A and B are shown apart, each in its own frame.
Chain A
Amino acid sequence: MTNINTAVKIGKLTLRNPIVTGSGTFGFGPEMANIVDLNKLGAVVVKSTSREPRLGNPTPRIVETPSGILNAIGLQNSGVDNFIAEKLPFLRNYDVPIIVNLVGTEVADYVHLAEKLTAAGGVHGLEINISCPNVSHGCDFAVDPALTAELIREVRKVTDLTLITKLSPNVTDMVPIARAAVDAGSDALSLINTLIGTAIDVRKRKFRLANITGGLSGPAVKPIALRCVWQVHRALPNVPLIGMGGIMSATDAIEFLLAGATAIAIGTATFVNPTASTDIAAGLEAYLIENGIADVNELIGAVTQ
């Protein structure tokens, strides 16, 4: 057991295992610390944090669709100053890399956030959310390689933390955006964010979400997410990818590793099973032991036709 390696590298970070939390599905840490031992995770990725506090969208914000959910939370959060003062001290008590997901509307917002969070201490990585589908302008960066490159270049200038760009699947081809982010200095990529969708209540003849559209996540999106990971991995085989989208079990996680992901984020699964992240980490380790695989890195991109 002890000679099995589960550790993977994402930029400068060494994760004790490939399992991380999906931004927006694990709160800021304290919410989950009673339920899950944070020190058993590869990293904790916290909810999107913006420059100013945001109240988010009106309700209903989440509706269920077959094997999935549509969400339009609208990035409700208390702002970066509150995060640093109120949430970060708690997270510093844990021996786990902390990755903060940043969101803004302009390049200057992201630069401001990156500077503050780098200076704060106790933050190990920044995940740049260029792809939130639930706010106006949220997807402007994600659909344009030139804008993505400019944003990442500017953020790169102000931080030496591991930089991860979170990509949107709501584009014709993710590869040019992925390449632009990496060329501009992103150490790694996260994919996928949610897919834009909607749902209608036929009785009321009304949209079921107050925001009309929302982001689809959960098992319904898994085949698409897996395809995205494989496409980006094939184009950029040396770039570490954090794969996510509908991962509910260790088997699902292994599929993503085989498709080319180096780490795996657990999102919606946490809503269904609060200990999904650590259960999947344990399940992955058990799989390695049972199959005599000495190093989890052997699985990455190992799918064949």
Chain B
Amino acid sequence: MPHQVFARVLSNDPIIAGHQVITCEAPTLAAEAQPGHFVNVLTAERYDPLLRKPFSVYTVDRDRGQISLLYSIVGATTASMSRKRPGEMLDMVGPLGGRIFQADTRPDTTHIMVGGGYGVPPLVFLSRELRLAQSAPNIKFIIGARRKDLLLCEAELVAAGVDARVATEDGSHGTSGRVTDVLEPLLLENSGLPVAVYCCGPTPMMKAVAELCLKLGVTCQLSVEVAMPCGIGVCMGCVLDLTDGRRVRCCVDGPVFEAGEVKW
């Protein structure tokens, strides 16, 4: 159930330029959050900016009752978040999201995560949950970035033994090109075998991944990003048009949708 939490900040450290990971003591969120859930953060004390901003849950430590968020510093809320010191409080509402990532349950499925920018953290969470639930899940993780210095989470995935592949647009690391340049050969290699793609990243990237998966007949779940003024399904601000003609709320009817459902 969504609820408000004033969570003590335990650490808040830069990881790459303009990006930080904030870890908080939030036992109720740690207990409830699943991959694809997000929390709504408020930092302003006097109503400017007025609205909370959504952040995907990145890691949870259920034993210690901790969660972390990985954020890119782009505006007022993320700038205030970046100044939080250990011991200060972070005001969050969560866990939010109605429909979240569903691990494909077919036996011997190859789970392919495709993430870009701050779309990577929820997929890191999903990979971890898959590894906790199954003895040796077959996970391939594709991370996209413009340049090597903007890549997120590669080292930790490798350290956890995940097959992580990289595409950089300038070719400074991994495959030169986009995530679809890594995804397409991988899907062709596995054609006829059970494969599930999970994707989160900038909208043009998700659109390209969705189109590729639809073309090759591979199931693909996408965590769609649109501005979510309330995050709890009441303001009707974050609506998305689906191919079946329905106009739904991204926050509670999503944010995860099947590739074929989204009308771009």
Contacts and interface: CB of A to CB of B under 8 A. Distances in A.
Contacts of A64: 49-51, 229
A155 to B, nearest CB: 25
A270 B2 CA distance: 13
Interface size of A as a range = 20 to 34
Contact of A67 (B2, B4, B48, B93): B48
Nearest to B93: A274
B234 A31 contact: yes
A67 B49 CA distance: 6
Interface of A is mostly: loop
A273 B227 CA distance: 17
Contacts, number: 86
B89 interface: no
B236 A32 contact: no
B115 interface: no
A219 B44 CA distance: 13
Interface residues of B, number: 27
B237 interface: yes
B2 A274 contact: yes
A268 to B, nearest CB: 7
B230 interface: yes
Given A76-B236, A76-B247, A59 B226 contact: yes
A218 B235 contact: no
Contacts of B46: 67
Given A56-B236, A59-B226, A62-B227, A69 B50 contact: yes
Contacts of B51: 64, 69, 271-272
Given A59-B237, A268-B50, A272-B52, 7 more contacts: A24-B236, A31-B234, A32-B232, A64-B229, A67-B46, A67-B48, A73-B235
23 contacts: A24-B235, A25-B235, A27-B233, A31-B232, A31-B234, A35-B232, A56-B239, A56-B247, A59-B238, A60-B227, A61-B236, A61-B239, A64-B49, A64-B50, A66-B48, A76-B247, A248-B47, A271-B51, A271-B229, A272-B42, A272-B52, A274-B4, A275-B4
